[in-house]
């Protein structure tokens, strides 16, 4: 179709691995990347595990791009740069191959963290926060805090690394951010603003403040159980999300640009829909009406009927509210076709990557379309009667996947859906 945009490169870093094929093979095997947190002391937090990228993978990232990573301590920046570089390598594109002014970068991420150390170090018991001294000593702030790492930094560094100097954007729309970044990149190409766009998401909230935020929201599971069993999407015993970290970046190209250079096409990105629940900041609309609008708009944009979609990579957080609302929404959108639909949740394997989740999840979706196999939903042992779709609990499923959708539904009621179809 003339509006389709080609996916020619994909790169990812997750708790399952720091490269595409390793993450995919482990996902198909139903392995869990959720493990006890190792990067900081967790004795005071009632959290048994997270989808944390292991230290050996962090060391590998620094070795692959030593110049870009020199002195870099912000985890999500490391993830972003590595995933972007991997996407370029996967696409067979080296910096300088694409016209800089016709090449863009769009990234989704979370808001940077105001580290508690950066408040305490310049605060006194009597005088409060010393703004003047803070300004003089700004170079002493924590390397992972907001003042050195504003949200747009990953976008800027990817642009510098890739020499992509065309349209740029950074989105911070919570859990919908990466999916909206990819949809924005697709629209840039469709409108003729760019020939190629690196887009996706990178995030990490696996630090004391980040984890405390999800506990205060009542969103994270506090179950005392083996880490690999914590994330239980659509299961009767699900008790909350499990935080993950990482990145997923795709290289999108116009069909003309991809064909001109003889690029391999993994799949075609053909639809994007987004909506707002307009309901409640910390909970989805229980009727799923925002999710319905997002999916319907994405299918309309793709020119596909619901019956033409074989697979849904669900938002599937493992929270009581999301999973039932998303199931309702899928059933409303797909109608009678919902009985034949295959659904699974990547978060059961890698945790919830917050602002980045739509990146790796769309990559998994594109691989399902390209290779005709779907990864399982882990830990679905006691199905919730209200979640009665086909969630693939038994293991990877080989099946024809001519088209699929990926859902990302964020805090604040922000929703995004992407549609991919086969390249041929």
Chain mean position to CA 18: 14
**Residue that the structure tokens 């019956």 belong to:** 307
Cβ neighbours for 248, distance < 8 A, ≥ 6 positions apart: 10, 11, 12, 13, 14, 83, 178, 200, 201, 353, 356, 358, 359, 360, 361, 362, 363
Q: Is 352 a catalytic residue?
A: yes
Nearest to 26 by CA among 362, 346, 342, 408: 346
Nearest to 106 by CA among 51, 42, 151, 63: 151
Q: Is 270 a catalytic residue?
A: no
- 297 three-state secondary structure: helix
CATH 3.40.47.10 assigned to domain 5-112+149-421? The reply is yes
Sheet containing 267-276, strands listed edge to edge, beginning at the edge strand earlier in sequence? 168-171, 103-108, 196-204, 245-254, 5-13, 267-276, 414-421, 403-410, 311-313, 342-344
Q: Please give the Cα distance from 53 to 18 (Å, whole number).
A: 8
Q: Where in the chain is the domain with CATH 3.40.47.10?
A: 5-112+149-421
CB 373 within 8 A of CB 279: no
Q: Please give the Cα distance from 84 to 154 (Å, whole number).
A: 10
pLDDT one digit per residue (tens) for the chain, 424 residues? 667 899 999 999 999 999 999 999 999 999 999 999 998 888 888 999 999 999 999 888 888 878 767 766 688 999 999 999 999 999 999 877 899 999 999 999 987 665 666 667 778 777 777 778 777 777 777 666 666 677 899 999 999 999 999 999 999 999 999 999 999 999 999 999 999 999 999 999 998 888 888 898 889 999 999 999 999 999 999 999 999 999 999 999 999 999 999 999 999 999 999 999 988 777 788 889 999 999 999 999 999 999 999 999 999 999 999 999 999 999 999 999 999 999 999 999 999 999 999 999 999 999 999 999 999 999 999 999 999 999 999 999 999 999 999 999 988 789 999 999 999 8
Chain mean position to CA 163: 24
Of these residues, 315, 357, 375, 387, which one is catalytic?
315
Q: Please give the Cα distance from 234 to 325 (Å, whole number).
A: 11
Nearest to 372 by CA among 281, 310, 319: 310
Q: Is 315 a catalytic residue?
A: yes
Of these residues, 6, 142, 175, 270, which one is catalytic?
175
DSSP assignment of 74-87, as one string? -HHHHHHHHHHHHH
Of these residues, 352, 357, 375, 387, which one is catalytic?
352
């Amino acid at each position: 179709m003339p509006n389709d945009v080609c996916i020619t490169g994909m790169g990812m870093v997750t708790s399952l691995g720091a490269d595409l094929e390793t993450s995919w093979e482990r996902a198909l095997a139903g392995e869990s990347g959720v493990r006890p947190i190792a990067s900081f002391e967790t004795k005071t937090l009632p959290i048994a595990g997270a989808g944390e990228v292991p230290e050996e993978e962090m060391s590998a990232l620094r070795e692959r791009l030593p110049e870009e990573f020199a002195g870099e301590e912000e985890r999500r920046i490391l993830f972003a740069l590595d995933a972007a570089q991997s996407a370029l390598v996967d696409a067979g594109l080296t910096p300088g191959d694409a016209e800089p002014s016709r090449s863009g970068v769009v990234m989704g991420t979370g808001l940077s963290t105001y580290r508690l150390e950066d408040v305490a170090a310049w605060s006194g018991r009597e005088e409060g926060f010393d703004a003047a001294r803070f300004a003089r000593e700004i170079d002493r702030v924590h390397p992972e805090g907001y003042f050195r790492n504003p949200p747009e930094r990953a976008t800027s560094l990817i642009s510098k690394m890739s020499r992509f100097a065309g349209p740029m954007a950074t989105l911070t729309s919570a859990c919908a951010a990466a999916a909206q970044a990819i949809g924005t990149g697709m629209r840039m190409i469709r409108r003729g603003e760019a020939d190629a766009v690196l887009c996706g998401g990178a995030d990490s909230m696996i630090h004391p403040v980040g984890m405390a935020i999800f506990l205060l929201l009542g969103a994270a599971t506090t179950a005392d159980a083996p880490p690999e069993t914590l994330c239980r999407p659509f299961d009767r015993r699900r008790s909350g999300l499990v935080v993950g970290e990482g990145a997923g970046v795709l290289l999108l190209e116009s069909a003309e640009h991809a064909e001109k250079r003889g690029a391999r096409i993994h799949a075609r990105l053909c639809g994007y829909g987004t909506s707002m629940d307009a309901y409640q900041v910390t909970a989805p609309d229980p009727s799923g009406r925002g999710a319905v609008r997002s999916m319907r708009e994405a299918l309309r944009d793709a020119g596909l009927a619901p019956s033409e979609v074989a697979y849904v990579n669900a938002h599937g957080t493992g929270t009581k509210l999301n999973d039932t609302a998303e199931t309702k929404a899928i059933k409303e959108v797909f109608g009678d076709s919902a009985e034949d639909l295959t659904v699974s949740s990547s978060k059961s394997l890698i945790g919830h990557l917050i602002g980045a989740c739509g990146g790796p999840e769309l990559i998994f979706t594109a691989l399902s379309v390209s290779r005709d196999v779907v990864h399982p939903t882990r830990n679905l042992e006691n199905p919730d009667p209200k979640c009665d779709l086909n969630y693939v609990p038994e293991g990877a499923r080989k099946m024809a996947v001519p088209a699929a959708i990926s859902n990302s539904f964020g805090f604040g009621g922000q929703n995004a859906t992407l549609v991919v179809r086969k390249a041929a």
